[in-house]
A = this chain, B = another copy of it.
Amino acid sequence: MSTQTADHTHIRATNLAAVLGYLRREAPCSRAAIATGTGLNKATVTSIVGDLLERRLVRETQQTQNHVGRPATLLVLDGSAYATIGLEVSARGLTALGCDTAGEQVLRWHRAGPGVDAGPAKTIASLANLARRAVTAVQSSGRQVLGITVGVPGLVNRDGAVVLAAGLGWRDVPMRAELVAAIGRPDIPVTVDNDASLGVLAEHLYGPHAGTGNLIRLTGDTGVGAGIIVDGKPLEGHLGYVGEIGHLRLVPDGPRCGCGRRGCLEALASLPAILARADVTDSDPQLQLEELIRRADAQETAVTQVLAEAGAYLGQGIAALVNILNPEVVLLGGAYALLADHLTPALDKALREATIAPDAGGCTVLASTLPDTATPLGATAQALTPLTRGHLPVR
């Protein structure tokens, strides 16, 4: 490919991404409004909108703008032709979410199990089965599946292998390769990513703090991970191993962690650690959490004390993030969101004590409003990355 062609293709994709981004934020809107909003000239916008109409990514509405002059036809995103599938693996089970290209949910399934003890082979088989069924369901709604992304609570390398998922007891699992084989749809791209990174992506795109330049979200189910948005962009790092706040050592010679070390934040304040210390008796993960919340809400001292201790440890862990990254907002995800009232008094106190900047550097810690769905929702958004970067679906 010549430089000229490469440049032209690149410019076309950049412009297409700008038009789609504008539509995502502002639709319904006219071609003229898109041209003004993106700084592109009208001929370019008309040509790009033509492509988008042809691929059924955009449609014209009867609705017209209420202003002086000739009425302009308005454009909206069309979700009827394509969707992506987001999956999550956690100690609480498997989740599948389907979203169309207009941002509407087209399916949402949760399946308990196969349980932390099942091991990677069984879990991947269950996940592939769920993915195949989700693909079939999306397709039978008339939509083409553009991609599948899976969130996992652990270190994921650039090939989609899980290097370590301490909370699941996984090490060196070539998850993407195995999933691709088990799903048996080589035409659909499959990506594997860290659950926390996907969770914060959902908050940054769709949550009440969407667009916040420096935003962190903690996962709170299997382990403790931080998804990090820095100066408006997801943090990636050298090899993608970012946000591993769960393995910050808070107590020298503290309790043993799933990673093999002692005194990690995760060993002190993860949901499994809290459940164990609060002597929760139920064996079903979902019912365990419900029991914990019920006993905490009843002000049972043994439980509120465990939660206050966990909150203080979380505050120390968040302080490390705040001292290094100075975020504006930290969101508590998963079970932490549901337990926030019991965690935050001790959490806020510890955070303020351990942060060098006054007033925790202007940071606010809040419960996520997407406690359960942020990871799979972020996964649907990530599977849409080629399109949001301006590359049209292959037909």
Q: Is A280 an interface residue (CB 8 A)?
A: no
Cβ–Cβ contact B324 & A356, under 8 A: no
Q: Is A214 an interface residue (CB 8 A)?
A: yes
Q: Is A69 an interface residue (CB 8 A)?
A: no
Q: A321-B324, A324-B242, A324-B325 are in contact. Are A356 and B247 (CB under 8 A)?
A: yes
| Complex interface: stretch among A106-114, A226-234, A287-295, A377-385 | A226-234
Cβ–Cβ contact B239 & A357, under 8 A: yes
Q: Is A173 an interface residue (CB 8 A)?
A: no
Alpha-carbon distance between A240 and B251 when the two chains are bound, in angstroms: 29
Q: Is A248 an interface residue (CB 8 A)?
A: yes
Closest to A327 in B: B238
| Complex interface: stretch among A24-32, A80-88, A138-146, A358-366 | A358-366
Q: Is A188 an interface residue (CB 8 A)?
A: no
Alpha-carbon distance between A243 and B326 when the two chains are bound, in angstroms: 8
Cβ–Cβ contact A356 & B214, under 8 A: no
Alpha-carbon distance between A252 and B253 when the two chains are bound, in angstroms: 12
Cβ–Cβ contact A361 & B239, under 8 A: yes
Cβ–Cβ contact A323 & B245, under 8 A: yes
Cβ–Cβ contact B235 & A233, under 8 A: no
A246 CB, nearest partner CB in chain B, Å: 8
Q: A230-B235, A233-B231, A236-B231 are in contact. Are A357 and B323 (CB under 8 A)?
A: no
Q: Is A244 an interface residue (CB 8 A)?
A: yes
B-contacting residues, A206-262, CB 8 Å? 213-214, 226, 228, 230-231, 233, 235-249, 251-252, 259, 261
B-contacting residues, A326-368, CB 8 Å? 326-328, 353-354, 356-358, 361-363
Cβ–Cβ contact B155 & A324, under 8 A: no
Size of interface on A: residues with Cβ below 8 Å to B = 51
A235 contact from B245, B325, B354, B357, Cβ within 8 A: B325
Q: Is A316 an interface residue (CB 8 A)?
A: yes
Copies of this chain per assembly: 2
A354 contact from B36, B249, B354, Cβ within 8 A: B249
Q: Is A159 an interface residue (CB 8 A)?
A: no
Q: Which residues of B contact A155 (CB under 8 A)?
A: 356-357
What are 30 residue pairs bridging A and B, where the CB atoms are less than 8 Å apart in the complex? A155-B357, A163-B358, A213-B238, A214-B237, A214-B238, A226-B324, A230-B231, A230-B235, A231-B233, A231-B235, A237-B326, A238-B328, A238-B361, A238-B362, A238-B363, A239-B326, A239-B361, A239-B362, A241-B356, A241-B357, A242-B324, A243-B324, A244-B323, A244-B357, A247-B323, A247-B356, A249-B354, A251-B252, A261-B354, A321-B324
Q: Is A39 an interface residue (CB 8 A)?
A: yes
